[in-house]
């Protein structure tokens, strides 16, 4: 089914700030005990710092569909690696229509457009197929207490 959507930098569409913060919090931080305020503060830094971090928002007009970010650090066990595509989230009703893939692709291209030749990403092993189809290569498995896989994606030659 045709499903139109746009991907914008959150700096250009700040009306999505609260929902982006909420979804990032729910996706990764709530269950490990962080308050929503912690994410709100970090996301505010995203809006004020340039060029990284970058928070992207997928939307159909005024309807929020999903989000992804490009951030300096994402995996405490690999502090030397940077930058990371992270905080990928698509609203449940909007899944399986290419929104997540498009968000990840846009974040990677945003990295390459800054002249950075390699982007990193970490995910649960169940998502390996999803990221491999998008051109990401797993380089390390079972990292940290959540057993995450580390992926790389290099800029086109
Ligand atoms: C993972 C996620 C971002 C994918 O978004 P999406 O818009 O559905 O992605 P696309 O439409 O581009 O691709 C869909 C494909 O991704 C894969 N996929 C998505 N979620 C998956 C999961 N939990 N396990 C395995 N494969 C998955 C499937 O191959 C799926 O294809 P299908 O719909 O034919 O089954 C979305 O499911 C989501 O927000 N999940 C909750 C948060 C999350 O896990 N984020 C990733 C953190 S690294």
Domains of the chain: 6-154 (3.40.630.30)
**Mutate which of 86, 91, 95, 149 for ligand 1 pocket (most atoms within 8 A of beta carbon):** 95
**Mutate which of 7, 86, 90, 147 for ligand 1 pocket (most atoms within 8 A of beta carbon):** 90
Of 31, 34, 55, 59, nearest in space to 110 by CA:
55
The model's confidence at residue 138, banded by pLDDT at 50, 70 and 90, is very high
The pTM (predicted TM-score) of the whole model is 0.95
Cβ contact 67:87 at 8 Å: yes
The model's confidence at residue 92, banded by pLDDT at 50, 70 and 90, is very high
Lowest mean pLDDT among 6-20, 48-62, 118-132: 48-62
58 pLDDT above the threshold of 70: yes
Query: What integer pLDDT is reported at residue 142 of this predicted model?
Result: 98
Tell me the mean pLDDT in the region 96-110.
97
């Amino acid at each position: 089914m045709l499903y139109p959507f746009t991907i914008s930098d959150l700096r250009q569409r700040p009306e999505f700030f609260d929902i982006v913060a909420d979804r990032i919090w729910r996706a990764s931080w709530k269950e490990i005990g962080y308050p929503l305020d912690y994410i709100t503060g970090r996301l505010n830094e995203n809006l004020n710092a340039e060029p990284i971090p970058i928070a992207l928002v997928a939307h159909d007009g005024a309807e929020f569909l999903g989000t992804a970010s490009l951030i300096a650090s994402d995996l405490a066990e690999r502090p030397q690696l940077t930058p990371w595509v992270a905080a990928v989230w698509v609203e449940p009703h909007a899944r399986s229509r290419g929104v997540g893939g498009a968000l990840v692709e846009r974040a990677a291209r945003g990295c390459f457009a800054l002249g950075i030749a390699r982007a990193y990403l970490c995910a649960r092993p169940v998502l390996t197929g999803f990221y491999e189809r998008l051109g990401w290569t797993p380089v390390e498995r079972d990292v940290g207490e959540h057993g995450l896989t580390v992926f790389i994606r290099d800029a086109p030659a």
